[in-house]
Chain A
Amino acid sequence: MSDNKKMTIIATKGTFDWAFPPFIIASTGVAMDKKVTIFFTFYGLNLLLKDTSKLRISPIGNPAMPMKLPIGPEWLQKIDFGPKIPNIFWLLPFTEYLATYLMKKTMKKNGVATLDELRSMCQEFDVKFIACEMTVDLFGYSKNDFIDGVEFAGAATYFDECNDSNHNLYM
């Protein structure tokens, strides 16, 4: 039986930018009276780590990413450096840190919730977090690396969750 009050998400990406969509959609889903489960697998496991400060964005091979400065005079902030900076620049050490720092600063300026804030909001709203046991073992994680309240299970459990759900998203 299909129940339009349920949603599942498979979260597979572990970079800082891609950490946001699963938590945004999940928390909003609960706000809209849906019951939500997120299944974290492969790099998506990063999103459940106690310490999310190590998550980075990678500008390499990411030509769609606008790069505008969150600081400085208004004319400067309007310039999109994305297409102007050659890809080879991003091979230099610490450029990921720079890009991540600027992204965080821009988000703060725009009143976007922080990752930890969105994640705890999801937990407060009873979003079910399932970590893929196979990839936890594969990547050599210990269960202590993850926040409290995470369940550990496999693909079959995901199917059990999505069986009666009519919003099933892969991110």
Chain B
Amino acid sequence: MADETLDASGLNCPLPILKTKKALSKMDIGKILDVISTDAGSVKDIEAFCNQTGNKLMSAVEESGKYIFTIKKT
């Protein structure tokens, strides 16, 4: 269950990443953020973002054109 949800639907690169960064910066370590995106590029980008920043990508699923990423802040 996510602590926070960020709806980045309709936004294109790099906005989903920038908004994810902003949302995570306001959260405490160990909290979970769900990011909803419609940008197909965010599938690779969120993964790369987590690789670089050390946050943990717990799951990435696609549901009828929407991508839902669950990220744990570390």
Residue B13 interfacial (CB < 8 Å): yes
Question: CA A151 – CA B32 in complex, angstroms?
Answer: 38
Q: Which residues of A contact B52 (CB under 8 A)?
A: 32-33
Interface of B is mostly: helix
B11 touches A111 (CB 8 A): yes
Chain B, residue nearest A26 (CB): B14
A-side interface size class: 10 to 19
Q: Which residues of B contact A55 (CB under 8 A)?
A: none
Q: Which residues of B contact A113 (CB under 8 A)?
A: 11-12, 14-15
Residue A8 interfacial (CB < 8 Å): no
Chain B, residue nearest A124 (CB): B22
Chain A, residue nearest B48 (CB): A32
Of B14, B38, B39, the most chain A CB neighbours within 10 A belong to B14
Residue A134 interfacial (CB < 8 Å): no
Q: Which residues of A, 57-98, contact B by the 8 Å Cβ criterion?
A: none
B20 touches A24 (CB 8 A): no
A111 touches B10 (CB 8 A): yes
Q: Which residues of A, 1-52, contact B by the 8 Å Cβ criterion?
A: 24, 27-28, 30-33
On A, residues with C-beta under 8 Å from B are: 24, 27-28, 30-33, 110-113, 121, 125
On B, residues with C-beta under 8 Å from A are: 10-15, 17-18, 20-21, 38-39, 48-49, 52-53
Other than the given A111-B15, A112-B12, 6 more pairs (CB < 8 A) read A28-B14, A31-B18, A31-B49, A32-B48, A33-B52, A125-B21
| 11 residue pairs from A and B, CB less than 8 Å apart | A24-B13, A31-B17, A31-B20, A31-B21, A32-B48, A32-B49, A33-B52, A110-B12, A111-B15, A113-B11, A125-B18
